[in-house]
Structure 1
Amino acid sequence: MWDFKTPGIPDENFERTEKVPITKEEVRTIQISKARLKPGQTVYDIGCGSGSISVEAGLQVESSGKVLAIDHDENAIELTKKNIQKFGLSNISVIFGDAKEKIQDLEPADVIIIGGTGGDTRDIVELSENKLKSGGRIVIGIILIETLYSVLQILDKLQFKSIDITQVTISKSRKTTTGTMMLARNPVTIISATRV
């Protein structure tokens, strides 16, 4: 389905529904890059939504690694399963439930990627610290300013290092009857950091 090593699977290659969000292709590419994935790693995708991050991560960590995709929305879980099947991946486990409860029972992770969490991002970052291996990476996609502020506070309190903040605003082309126009998408802030 995706014969390339580079991330950036086009959004239209994924199964989609209006009820479940997808991390857009360009933002996903940056998040996967900031995660610094390699074969054999264990990755959490918290707030997996459509499963696009899970699929990209699953391809990067290869069959020797694993991805644990977590979401509290049954629609997201079903869509993630469809996309895993579509891309023929067997190294992704899908977990239905509240990440704040489920994360405690999971094995240690090399990388934790946090997306749509329904307002619990700060708490999930705090819980993630004990699940990340030393030197492990955390990557958080944020759209709200309030979430950005609270996440930066907790990362500082937990003494994460190499904190990087990248805000991206993407515009995509769209054909019109008279030519091509650029349509802006909502800005996304990506925070990445390393556990000491």
Structure 2
Amino acid sequence: MTWPYATPGIPDELFERAEGVPMTKAEVRSVALSKLRLRRGGVLVDVGCGTGSVSVEAALIMGEGSRVYAVDYDEEALMLTKRNAEKFGVADRVVLVRGKAPEVLAELPKADRYFVGGGGLELPAIIKAAVERMEKGIIVADVVTLESLKAAVEALGELGLDYEVTQIFVARGQRKGRYTVMTALNPVYIITAYA
């Protein structure tokens, strides 16, 4: 399958999914990708790639000659990412990396763009490791808890980086008989830092 559009926003249902493997939803993914300011032929590290939705769309946007390092410790997540990359014709640009962040980041080539999907308790260490691996670039992280948001902005403050926080609220319409009911997704904080 090819995605014929020049804009992000592949519908979630077009990606292969598995129970328990997270995916950055289309609306949040679109904003996160725009915050990354991706370049043709660029290099992105997707930490906590899950289903690979960010990896796939980034590879499509950056085009031929680009590299996306899709990092996850979960083998099932990496296999989903592989299948989704194959499905959308970008398997040649997506490199699967099994390992735990932040440690595994030291094994990767330098990149000027990092996307962190979640990160949990390791988020501050992941941010610090990403900054150490780039001379100049952009880090985008999406988190859903206030604790993760606090940890991220504290880490960015300690590093002296400029950052911005955007909160995304998404509701999708679902048909219920003759009516359309809006169903909310979890609010997400998108943190963008400039190194």
Q: Same fold (TM over 0.5)?
A: yes
Look up the SS of the partner of 2:38 in the other structure. Answer: coil
User: Structure 2: which 5+ runs fail to align?
Assistant: none
| Counterpart residue number, 2:42 | 41
**Does the alignment pair 1:164 with 2:160?**
no
Is 2:118–2:141's contact at 8 Å kept on the other side of the alignment? no
| Counterpart residue number, 1:130 | 132
Look up the SS of the partner of 2:70 in the other structure. Answer: strand
| Counterpart residue number, 1:88 | 89
| Counterpart residue number, 1:105 | 107
Give the structure-1-normalised TM-score.
0.96
Q: Distance in 2 between matches of 1:101 and 1:77?
A: 17
| Counterpart residue number, 1:139 | 140
Look up the SS of the partner of 2:142 in the other structure. Answer: strand
Look up the SS of the partner of 2:109 in the other structure. Answer: coil
Look up the SS of the partner of 2:112 in the other structure. Answer: strand
Question: How do 1:11-22 and structure 2 match up within 5 A?
Answer: 11-22=12-23
Look up the SS of the partner of 1:99 in the other structure. Answer: coil
Moved over 6 A (4+): none
Please point out which of 98, 114, 117 is paired with 1:115.
117
Is 1:58–1:65's contact at 8 Å kept on the other side of the alignment? yes
Give the Å deviation of 1:189: 0.2
Give the Å deviation of 1:47: 0.2
Is 1:112–1:132's contact at 8 Å kept on the other side of the alignment? no
Q: Distance in 2 between matches of 1:132 and 1:54?
A: 19
Question: How do 1:172-183 and structure 2 match up within 5 A?
Answer: 172-183=172-183
Give the structure-2-normalised TM-score.
0.96
Q: Distance in 1 between matches of 2:36 and 2:109?
A: 18
Give the Å deviation of 1:116: 3.1
Question: How do 1:51-70 and structure 2 match up within 5 A?
Answer: 51-70=52-71
Q: How far does the alpha carbon of each residue in 1:63-100 deviate from its partner, in whole angstroms, 9 at most, with x for none?
A: 12110000011111111111011011111101111122
What fraction of aligned residue pairs are identical, expressed as a percent?
Answer: 39
Q: How far does the alpha carbon of each residue in 1:124-177 deviate from its partner, in whole angstroms, 9 at most, with x for none?
A: 01111111232x00000011101101110111111112x111001100010112
Q: Distance in 2 between matches of 1:119 and 1:59?
A: 31
Look up the SS of the partner of 1:43 in the other structure. Answer: strand
Is 2:46–2:70's contact at 8 Å kept on the other side of the alignment? yes
| Counterpart residue number, 1:184 | 184
Give the Å deviation of 1:30: 0.3
Give the Å deviation of 1:118: 4.1
Is 1:48–1:116's contact at 8 Å kept on the other side of the alignment? no
Q: Distance in 1 between matches of 2:177 and 2:135?
A: 53
Is 2:101–2:122's contact at 8 Å kept on the other side of the alignment? no
Give the alignment's Cα RMSD to 1 decimal: 1.0
